Homo-oligomer: A and B are copies of this chain.
């Protein structure tokens, strides 16, 4: 057990990737210099042991990697470029060794490298039972270019930037088989090492087009409901157009629906754009090796989400998500 001074020195990066970091770890607060013409984008998200992960569902490094990635995904959904992160971690007095905490930080460091971000601060405190990791991220987006969920309009198409349901499928497997499920299976990988769609977000922001955007952290139904409510329109989704349905062919339809519509933590982006824009944007993204799928359309309404499946269209239950 190192003392605080030594420990902070051990996790503080020796140099910063971003020249805009005036002061990183090692004072009361971090100081950064904003770039003229850009707005600052801030998000915070917490992962709790037993709720978002256990030592059986996630390798230690993946816990750290994912804690940062879920936050980066929030920046991506605003069209922002990720820059810095801070970590606050509550460590239980029992069941966790400092070496394990260090591994979590290593995983976060890998995600930091992936997204070109600097660790600029945070704190570590004790708690009695569950490990709680809170990550705060800062990014920037060109003034007036942020992508809001309230910007959907009638006659837009609804799109996804990648498959959904894979993380939920992986989690079900992990809850059933524990560590025996770990491996290269794409569902397991999707759950343990999620990818934030930053390149998509930046592409949309730089385009200057009106695009409504959310990241799929709480499931397509929930995120579509947020866009519909914020924009005062209805979203009409088409089951047959959901990306990569082939991956789920081997499972019963009830499970497919649960995973693809209500499974969270995929971090694909769900959005809407002018219908006439879709083919052109899809082609431009393909040139970058990125995908885009049309899964529905926007019609006049009062904030509802509908799903067309096997010839009939029904109101899509939003999952009844509550807070506590």
Contact = CB atoms under 8 A, between A and B. Distances in A.
B323 A1 contact: yes
B36 A36 contact: yes
Interface string A104-127: 000000000000000011111111
B41 A30 contact: yes
Interface string A12-36: 0000000000110011111111101
Given A23-B148, A229-B5, A29 B41 contact: yes
Interface in A158-177: none
Given A141-B31, A321-B3, A322-B2, A86 B39 contact: no
Q: How many chain copies does the complex carry?
A: 2
A31 B26 contact: no
Contact of A29 (B42, B88, B126): B42
Interface residues of A, number: 80
A51 interface: yes
Contacts of A88: 44-46, 134
Q: Which of A26, A38, A39, A40 has the most CB of B within 10 A?
A: A40
A132 B133 CA distance: 10
B121 A42 contact: yes
- In order of increasing CB-CB distance, the 6 nearest A-B pairs are A29-B43, A28-B77, A34-B34, A134-B134, A28-B74, A46-B88
25 contacts: A2-B322, A4-B321, A5-B226, A7-B323, A23-B148, A27-B148, A28-B43, A28-B215, A29-B42, A29-B74, A31-B78, A33-B143, A34-B34, A44-B121, A46-B134, A50-B128, A51-B125, A51-B128, A124-B323, A124-B324, A127-B132, A128-B130, A129-B130, A132-B134, A136-B136
Given A5-B226, A27-B149, 7 more contacts: A28-B213, A29-B78, A30-B42, A42-B136, A50-B127, A91-B324, A129-B129
